[in-house]
Amino acid sequence: MKDRKVVLLPAFRHVVPADFERWLEKMASEGWHIDRINQWSSLVMVFKRGVPQKYRFVYDLQAVPRKDYRAIYEQFGWEYLGRMASVFIWRKAYRETRPEAFSDRESLINRSRRTAAALSFSFYLFLLTTLILGVVLLKGTLAGSEAAQAALGLALSLAFTFYLGGAMLKIIKNRER
């Protein structure tokens, strides 16, 4: 039996913060525990086999956290696991009642807004790239392999633009989770 599991693109598979949290909780309940969280964990996440455990995880995007941000979470018994870019990951063991990190509806909505806003930067960047490549190809100034490379770039950029747009809509639609 394997003692290690590697998951590719976990943050891209579970774009809604609540979905990401539930996925981590399911993994822990099956005995798969996060080895570590770092900048690359949104692309590759490594789990180690252990004893199944009930954990509540929190996905909290904080681009510029307050000075006392970590101390406040830790004061309430949350364990800091690490950070993926601006996303802090926390966990707390429990037995019966699943603890909540966001105590009101407005806090959940604000978390979703922060997450959608972070994705919107990439969305607009890929949209701009798509438009520029489209104009270059329509002008017909490229030939042969350059045109093929630009067409491939356009296709990839368009695919990412649609993915990011769909992810933003999904987050906004599920903003209260």
- Render pLDDT for 22-55 as a digit per residue (tens, 0 to 9): 999 999 999 999 989 999 999 999 999 999 999 9
Number of domains composing the chain: 2
Q: CA-to-CA distance for 31 and 29, rounded, in angstroms? A: 5
Q: Which residues, in sequence order, are CB contacts of 74 under 8 Å at separation 6+? A: 80
- Same domain (yes/no): 119, 89: no
pLDDT at 177 over 80: no
- Same domain (yes/no): 88, 8: yes
Answer with the one of 93, 114, 146 that is the final residue of a domain.
93
Q: Are 172 and 124 contacting, i.e. CB atoms less than 8 angstroms apart? A: no
- Same domain (yes/no): 109, 88: no
- Same domain (yes/no): 49, 69: yes
- pLDDT digit string, tens, across residues 117-161: 888 988 999 999 999 999 988 888 888 888 889 889 999 999 999
Asked if residue 99 is part of any domain, the answer here is no
- How does DSSP classify residue 86? T
- Same domain (yes/no): 20, 79: yes
pTM: 0.81
- Same domain (yes/no): 62, 14: yes
Asked if residue 109 is part of any domain, the answer here is yes
- Same domain (yes/no): 82, 19: yes
- Same domain (yes/no): 89, 8: yes
- The per-residue pLDDT for 48 is 97
- The parent domain of residue 21 ranges over 4-93
Asked if residue 98 is part of any domain, the answer here is no
